[in-house]
């Protein structure tokens, strides 16, 4: 058998693991170690790898090339003007990334060096996690974390099972049960385990948490056994053992090959719309820079030829010199250097800082905090803050996202009769009057139905829910046993089993495959023979049990009615009647918004069961296409069923869902609900939550079976959409397969015309396909997706913005999302307030970054005309170096963190304001043109204004001294710093101490730096003329007055435009009117209170005054 397994491993490219490989001295180096490495760098790779990553950015690579060019010529300015800003940006980013990676190293070492117990040389020895190898048998005790992916061999449990929680993997906190293979489940002694010889043939490592297939061939105490392995045999690294003293498992996947590590891979980077526009602007300025350099180089040699320069006797230039390629290269690179500051080098690092700090405000927002301690808003990426303000389509899950995912049993249909839950008891329901009536005793068919529900599940009894007995008197005076505390992976299952217990059919637990059922005080024993787990293809689950009282074998099934009903017998008129009535009742339950399941059973003979069990065992030992092989067997088993009835379970809507959906509609966001529920349930929920309105025309694309029918129905919907009115659309998963495959564009055109869409019976893959269809359509709308379960992860990751809800189905959605929060209603503030603010902040931040560099760089171009294109820089080196890094960075950073262009209460109560930023309007080419026209105006006004101020060559300096280039350049640089910082102050709408403080700190810091810098009496400052220039600036009153007048003249159009714009804005007028009305109401209230107090004082008598005295 071992040789056959080895041959299969080679042939099928599977993994072959030897148990106790250390004993056999086998080579395990072809398997990876159990080290987990989440860090990106080591001490040796940090510098080259980090530098490579940073210089992949266009701006950084551009300035790196510029620095090399700077060093290759006799530069008009110091090379430090290019090198220092680049070094600063790269260093700051490198320090940040090094710190983050050090934190990752620290966590890696903490995990990899954690203690573990491994079977070595016949005894348990303590090793580090990193020392566990594939094939080692590992011991884990209650409460400990699983150190690697283990095949469960033995558990200290009489039933050979253990319970774990998987919160670290998928966020789910409910207990999950795993089972030992029969061949090893009782081998708990280390000596016996050491003597076990065996091989495991299993799949190669992959990321699917819920898929594991293998075959175990083991020789234990002389017996050779073969067993099939499945997901319920594999304990995953990161899970935690609960309620089991100890277990033993063999390591099959280690380190980076564990499922936890494979699921921890970084997601594809998402880029915001603003960032994409920013890159286009960068490319525009690169082409503009090339144009400026080429133009100035050509003009220099065209306008200032040798004949012209020979007449310039005051310039010491060689006569009759010829122009060489070296001269052209020197001039071209020199122009490139002095004009290069049009590209903002600090843009990336300051923008990252603004976004990172901005995420903290969302995390600190108490309005986005749930009831639990760990239910504040989570931001998993800071790259998409502004994208929250651009959402056009929202794709949302229903269960657990719009609803609470807390299930309550409400109705059932049994043998053609309706029943309803009434105050914890089951009552008969009259269909005509819709009234309930108490049952004197439970009918036999109802007991059978409840017994089936109480047995057909995977629920575990963990502890008593109450310390006292809950007694209910029935017609037979039978006392019910204590209500149990149930743990279930599905809230539907838990609700059904709890309902059965309330009605007197109590599932008391499982012991060694023995299921105990207490029916009105009578205890029955059932042997669990098989569990056919639920899967999304069959859409049902089944169990096979033997009733020990009469030895009958039953196959019990429950699942979606679309799956179960077609498996039921319809050979007699009574069966057909039962089918039709039950289907009608299911539709009635769905119209009430209930989640429905059909319930059926089948009696098996001993021979039938043995045949099925043998076929199922063989199918489970297949590695390739095991699911298909198992499905063929289960389909044969789950056939010829007898229909028992159906259930209706209620999932309550979350608070604030209706208000949130209505606000999103007003904000111009189209909402698509994607759910796995049946059509009637989903439509009813859509009406109850306000997604569908009564005045809407609802179009349906359901039950489509072929292309022709789909096309004709789609054309019909398309024609209807062309009429006036409001439309909603309903489509199911079956029809969606045809529509996406053959008519994707036409289907999207219909969906785009509808304000509300509901997609039913959707698989996780289809959810992602719908999101992909929308975001890749011709309009390329910004799509957000929100969900709460692992089945929503593909949709969340596909969308531009992924939103996760901390729901009952675990936190896998939150872990994989970009933003996470506790309740759906928090989405309103997240989009309408934080999304709006962040978009405005980031858009203005980016536009301002380009604006200030145009305003700073353009005077250099103007000056080139007056200096005969000699490549002389207008500014001194310190100004070129520090303008972006320090002189203009703090005020805009504070603006980017605290700006509130519209108050939050206005944004929440007037959702239509969200549309003001639609279609990336603040980053459009028109907005870009406006910012740069102001930059050109400011540059021209500053340069020519100061030029006129210094026209008489003295500009008011004492002793008739004339100004030099250093004085003029420093005055212009100071004025430019003041104007650009004041520009961002004028752009602000929310003034606070921090913004004004940033302006003061920048101004004082600028002055202090130049006082120090120009006051150093040493080389090279004295030689190059910068010495005492800043002091000389204040010697001229006319120059200072000229700077003030020019500065005011620069900013006056900005101020006028803002005042006019606000005065003409109807929304501003509305806010102002509302504010005045509120202030007037407050004044009247205060006046009335004062009047009341004065009247009360006057009414006090003199005698009372004496008493008071």
Tell me the three state secondary structure of residue 461.
strand
Helix (H, G, I), strand (E, B) or coil at 649: strand
> What is the token pair recorded at 85?
């800003």
Q: How far is CA 734 from CA 594, 626, 785, 866, 881, in A?
A: 21, 25, 22, 74, 63
Task: Evaluate whether 255 touches 35 at the Cβ level (below 8 Å).
Answer: yes
The rounded Cα 449 to chain-centroid distance in angstroms is: 43
DSSP 204: P
DSSP bridge partners of 598: 559, 646
The torsion angles phi and psi of 517, rounded to 5 degrees, stand at -125, 130
Q: How far apart are CA 800 and CA 789, in angstroms?
A: 18
Cα–Cα distance, 1092 to 1085 (Å, whole number): 11
Six token digits for residue 1099 = 């009414």
For tokens 């940033």, the residue is: 998
Q: Which residues contact 934 (CB under 8 A, 6 or more apart)?
A: 851, 983, 1053, 1054
Residue 604 exposed, middle or buried by CB count within 10 Å (0-12, 13-18, 19+): buried
Contact 689, 661 (CB under 8 A): yes
397 catalytically annotated: yes
The 10 Å Cβ neighbour count of residue 464 is 13
| Distance (Å, whole) CA 774 – CA 759 | 14
Give φ, ψ of 764 to 5 degrees.
-55, -40
Q: Kindly name the residue from 170, 217, 383, 397 that is annotated as catalytic.
A: 397
- Compute the radius of gyration of the chain from its Cα atoms: 38
Cα distances (Å, whole numbers) of residue 357 to 151, 344, 360, 748, 883: 44, 21, 6, 38, 23
Cα separation values, 229 from 282, 405, 536, Å:
57, 32, 21
Distance, CA of 317 to CA of 315 (rounded, Å): 6
CA distances from 474 to 440, 469, 504, 510, 520 (A): 7, 15, 9, 26, 8
Nearest to 700 by CA among 690, 714, 689, 719: 714
Count of Cβ atoms closer than 10 Å to residue 997 Cβ: 13
If DSSP codes are grouped into helix, strand and coil, which group holds residue 531? Answer: strand
Closest CA to 27 of 137, 134, 151: 134
Residues labelled catalytic: 397
């Amino acid at each position: 058998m071992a040789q056959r397994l080895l041959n299969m491993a080679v042939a099928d490219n599977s993994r072959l693991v030897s148990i106790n490989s250390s004993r056999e001295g086998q080579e395990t180096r072809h398997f990876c170690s159990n080290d987990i490495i989440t860090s990106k760098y080591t001490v040796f790779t940090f510098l080259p790898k980090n530098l490579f990553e940073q210089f992949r950015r266009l701006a950084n690579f551009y300035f790196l090339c510029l620095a090399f060019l700077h060093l290759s010529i006799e530069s008009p300015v110091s090379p430090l003007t290019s090198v220092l800003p680049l070094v600063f940006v790269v260093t700051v980013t490198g320090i940040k990334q090094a710190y983050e990676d050090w934190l990752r190293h620290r966590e890696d070492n903490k995990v990899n060096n954690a203690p573990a117990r491994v079977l070595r040389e016949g005894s348990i020895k303590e090793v580090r996690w990193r020392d566990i190898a594939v094939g080692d048998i590992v011991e884990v005790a209650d409460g400990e974390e699983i150190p690697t992916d283990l095949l469960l061999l033995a558990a200290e449990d009489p039933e050979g099972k253990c319970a774990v929680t998987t919160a670290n993997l998928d966020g789910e906190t409910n207990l999950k049960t795993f089972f030992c293979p029969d061949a090893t489940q009782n081998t708990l002694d280390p000596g016996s385990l050491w003597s076990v010889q065996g091989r495991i043939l299993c799949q190669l490592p992959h990321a699917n948490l819920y898929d594991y297939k293998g075959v175990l061939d083991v020789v234990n105490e002389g017996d050779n056994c073969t067993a099939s392995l499945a997901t319920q045999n594999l304990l995953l690294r990161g899970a935690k053992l609960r309620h089991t003293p100890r277990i033993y498992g063999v390591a099959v996947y280690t380190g980076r090959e564990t499922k936890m590590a494979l699921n921890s891979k970084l997601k594809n980077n998402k880029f915001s719309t603003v960032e994409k526009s920013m890159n286009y602007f960068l490319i525009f300025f690169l082409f503009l820079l090339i144009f400026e350099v080429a133009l100035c180089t050509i003009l220099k040699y065209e306008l200032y030829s040798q004949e012209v320069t020979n007449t310039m006797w005051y310039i010491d230039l060689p006569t009759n010199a010829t122009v060489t390629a070296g001269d052209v290269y020197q001039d071209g690179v020199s122009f490139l250097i002095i004009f290069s500051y049009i590209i903002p080098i600090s843009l990336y690092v300051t923008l990252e800082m603004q976004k990172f700090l901005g995420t903290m405000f969302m995390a600190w927002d108490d309005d986005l905090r749930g009831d639990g301690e760990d239910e504040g808003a989570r931001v998993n990426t800071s790259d998409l803050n502004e994208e929250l303000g651009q959402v056009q389509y929202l794709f949302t899950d229903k269960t657990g996202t719009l609803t609470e995912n807390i299930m309550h049993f409400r109705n059932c249909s049994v043998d053609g009769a309706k029943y309803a839950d009434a105050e914890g008891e089951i009552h008969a329901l009259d269909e005509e009057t819709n009234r309930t009536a108490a049952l004197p005793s439970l009918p036999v068919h109802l007991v059978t139905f409840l017994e089936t529900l109480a047995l057909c599940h995977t629920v575990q009894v963990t502890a008593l829910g109450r310390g006292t007995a809950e007694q209910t008197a029935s017609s037979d005076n039978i006392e019910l046993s204590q209500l149990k505390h149930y743990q279930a992976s599905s809230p539907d299952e838990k609700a059904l089993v709890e309902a059965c217990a309330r009605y007197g059919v109590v599932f008391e637990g499982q012991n060694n495959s023995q299921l105990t059922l207490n029916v009105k005080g009578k205890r029955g024993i059932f042997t669990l023979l098989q569990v056919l787990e639920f899967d999304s293809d069959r859409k049902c689950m089944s169990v096979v049990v033997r009733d020990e009282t009469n030895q009958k074998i039953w196959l019990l099934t429950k699942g979606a009615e679309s799956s179960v009903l077609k498996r039921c017998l319809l050979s007699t008129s009574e069966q057909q009647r039962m089918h039709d009535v039950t289907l009608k009742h299911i539709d009635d339950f769905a119209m009430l918004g209930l989640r429905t399941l059909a319930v059926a059973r089948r009696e098996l003979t001993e021979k039938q069961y043995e045949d099925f069990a043998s076929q199922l065992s063989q199918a489970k030992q297949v590695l390739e296409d095991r699911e298909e092989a198992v499905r063929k067997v289960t389909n044969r088993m789950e056939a010829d069923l007898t229909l028992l009835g159906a259930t209706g379970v209620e999932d309550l809507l979350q608070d604030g869902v209706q208000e949130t959906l209505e606000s999103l509609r007003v904000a111009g966001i189209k909402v698509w609900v994607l759910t796995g529920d049946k059509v009637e349930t989903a439509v009813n929920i859509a009406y109850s939550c306000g997604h569908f309105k009564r005045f809407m025309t609802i179009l349906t694309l359901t039950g489509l079976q072929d292309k022709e029918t789909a096309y004709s129905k789609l054309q019909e919907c398309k024609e209807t959409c062309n009429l006036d009115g409001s439309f909603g659309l309903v489509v199911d998963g079956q029809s969606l397969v045809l529509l996406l495959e053959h008519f994707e564009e036409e289907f999207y055109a219909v969906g785009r015309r509808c304000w509300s869409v509901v997609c039913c019976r959707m698989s996780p893959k289809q959810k992602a396909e719908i999101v992909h269809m929308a975001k890749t359509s011709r309009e390329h709308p910004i799509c957000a997706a929100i969900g709460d379960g692992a089945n929503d992860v593909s949709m969340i990751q596909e969308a531009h913005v992924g939103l996760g809800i901390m729901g009952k189905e675990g936190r896998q959605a939150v872990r994989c999302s970009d933003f996470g929060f506790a309740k759906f209603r928090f989405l309103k503030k997240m989009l309408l307030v934080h999304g709006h603010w962040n978009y405005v902040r980031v858009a203005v931040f980016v536009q301002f970054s380009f604006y200030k560099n145009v305003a700073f760089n353009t005077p250099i171009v103007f000056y080139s005309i007056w200096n005969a294109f000699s490549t002389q820089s207008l500014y001194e080196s310190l100004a070129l170096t520090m303008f972006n890094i320090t002189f203009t960075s703090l005020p805009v950073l504070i603006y980017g963190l605290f700006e509130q262009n519209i108050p939050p209460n206005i944004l929440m109560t007037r959702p239509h304001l969200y549309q003001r930023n639609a279609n990336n309007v603040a980053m459009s080419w028109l907005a870009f043109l406006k910012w740069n026209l102001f930059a050109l105006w400011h540059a021209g006004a500053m340069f020519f204004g100061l030029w006129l101020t210094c026209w008489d060559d003295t500009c008011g300096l004492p002793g008739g001294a004339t100004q030099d280039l250093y004085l003029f350049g420093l005055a212009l640089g100071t004025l430019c710093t003041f104007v650009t910082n004041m520009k961002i102050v004028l752009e602000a709408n929310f003034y606070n101490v921090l913004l004004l403080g940033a302006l003061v700190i920048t101004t004082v810091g600028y002055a202090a730096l130049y006082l120090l810098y120009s006051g150093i009496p040493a080389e090279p400052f004295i030689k190059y003329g910068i010495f005492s220039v800043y002091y000389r600036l204040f010697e001229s009153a006319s120059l200072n007055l000229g700077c003030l007048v020019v500065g005011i003249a620069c900013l006056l159009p900005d101020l006028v435009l803002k005042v006019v714009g606000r005065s003409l804005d109807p929304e501003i007028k509305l806010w102002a009117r509302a504010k005045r009305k509120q202030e007037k109401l407050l004044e009247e209230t205060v006046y009335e209170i004062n009047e009341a107090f004065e009247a009360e004082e006057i009414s006090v008598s003199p005698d009372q005054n004496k008493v008071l005295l």
